[in-house]
Structure 1
Amino acid sequence: MVQHRPHTTVVLAMSADGKIADIRRSPARFGSRADKAHLEKQIAASDAVLFGAGTLRAYGTTLTVSHPTLLEHRTQEGKPPQPVHIVITHSGNLNPEIKFFKQPVKRWLLTTTAAAISWQGRSEFEQILVFETPTGKIDTLAALQHLATLDITRLVVLGGGELVASLLELNFIDELWLTVCPMILGGTTAPTPVEGRGFVADLAPKLQLLEVNTVDQEVFLHYRLQQSAD
């Protein structure tokens, strides 16, 4: 059964050996200008951007739409200059002093009941969304269904690997954009695009390659998730 939720696209850059950061989990700034422009284009086409707390802690900021053509397209489509930027976190442990909280974007927090308490009555987040399962975890399906009722039809996910894994397990990802960058990072503890428990081969999500673009030394791979028959 197809659930009513936003069309969800994951956009990530990775090394040639499939790492999205080094062993220190430093911000992955190894993508080129072309990759950054590609990411901005995907963000500009979205109604909201979703990323995990670990990703936000690593960067301390988010990418906003700044290209005049992209801004003009959003205006023509009746959209605000920036999509909503949504942080998903079970703990709510975020530093309110980071640059993200000063950027000109609408910020929403998706979290648990306990974690929401420390952010209520403050100005950092315009909305605090609490959707919780009986076990105290974030109810991702209920959250995405709620986003759809708020006219968020296109959602871009920027990581990290744990968030992507959880969405894949629930079959909530529609497309993937992976930029393969010309470097080897290595390291058994370096994060990958999909973390979590992993999938056995017979049950692994299957992809359909939609397009391949090469810009200088980078390769841009665009996939569609093949939906299971059930």
Structure 2
Amino acid sequence: MSARPFVLVSAAMSLDGYLDDASPERLLLSNDADFDRVDQVRADSDAILVGAGTIRADNPRLIVKSPVRQALRVDSGRPATPLKVTVSASGDLDPAAKFWHHGTEEQRPLVYTTDTGAVKASQRLGGLAETVSLGDTVDFGALLDDLGTRGVGRLMVEGGSHILTEFLAAGLADELQIAIGPTLVGDQAAPRFLNPARFPGGPTHRMRLLEATSIGDVALLRYQPSKESQ
């Protein structure tokens, strides 16, 4: 069996632990220098994963934005932007979303779903994506196994709350990079960084701090999550 990819979980949150506010417009929690850092992390990855909720809420292109970084990837024999991956148990995905139409000339996005969701996703997306059923439920370990067989050595997971929680709670993340912006949201209707879950790491759930860096008014924290089950 092929090795599972290295999983880097990446997110930006407010000082009080929110990924966004509850307004229709996306709240920019980071700054230009950190956005450029994230673009480099994307360029260093083989695949980028977001949940279907993020596609619906943010309508991201999910590409490497820098032409220089795109060119360097192509010169090294890789596609200009990493393989795009999403997860949807229901398969209810909008074929008009930017996710399917930007940076997909060389490789179609992957949709991981359930047996039931695969039927709906295939009907809605047609040839825009490759649909992979993981059975009755979405098994994130099986998802990583499948990506490994496809040659993905480094996976960047960008959200949202449900996806971030699933990877960390299952002990599937190898590194967590969290950018903390100088913003307070304070809205119970807004999405939190993580949902309630049983996380690995014993009673304290402690992670190992790898690095703390200041990027202007943003604090970047790199952690090695615990994979030890409770």
TM-score by length of 2: 0.88
Residue 139 of structure 1 pairs with residue 142 of structure 2: no
Q: Output aligned runs, 1:171-190, within 5 Å.
A: 171-190=171-190
Can you give the 5+ residue segments of structure 2 that lack an aligned partner in the other structure? none
Native 8 Å contact 2:9 2:173 kept in 1: yes
CA–CA separation in structure 1 for the residues paired with 2:22 and 2:201 = 26
Task: Name the count of aligned residue pairs.
Answer: 224
CA–CA separation in structure 2 for the residues paired with 1:163 and 1:204 = 22
CA–CA separation in structure 2 for the residues paired with 1:199 and 1:148 = 24
Native 8 Å contact 1:60 1:100 kept in 2: yes
Q: Output aligned runs, 1:90-109, within 5 Å.
A: 90-105=89-104, 106-109=108-111
Call closer, same or farther: CA 1:227–1:101 in 2, change over 3 Å.
Answer: closer
Residue 85 of structure 1 pairs with residue 88 of structure 2: no
Call closer, same or farther: CA 1:201–1:189 in 2, change over 3 Å.
Answer: farther
After superposition, give the CA deviation of every residue in 1:163-198 in whole Å (9 maximum; x if it has no partner).
111112221001011111111001233222211435
Percent identity for Structure 1 against Structure 2: 28
Q: Output aligned runs, 1:206-217, within 5 Å.
A: 206-217=206-217
SS of alignment partner, residue 123 of structure 1: helix
| RMSD of aligned residue pairs (Cα, Å) | 2.3
Amino acid at match of 2:131: I
Native 8 Å contact 2:172 2:227 kept in 1: no
Residue 39 of structure 1 pairs with residue 38 of structure 2: yes
CA–CA separation in structure 2 for the residues paired with 1:23 and 1:95 = 22
CA–CA separation in structure 2 for the residues paired with 1:91 and 1:162 = 14
Amino acid at match of 1:107: P
Can you give the 5+ residue segments of structure 1 that lack an aligned partner in the other structure? none
Counterpart for residue 167 of structure 1: 167
TM-score by length of 1: 0.88
Q: Output aligned runs, 1:15-94, within 5 Å.
A: 15-24=14-23, 27-94=26-93
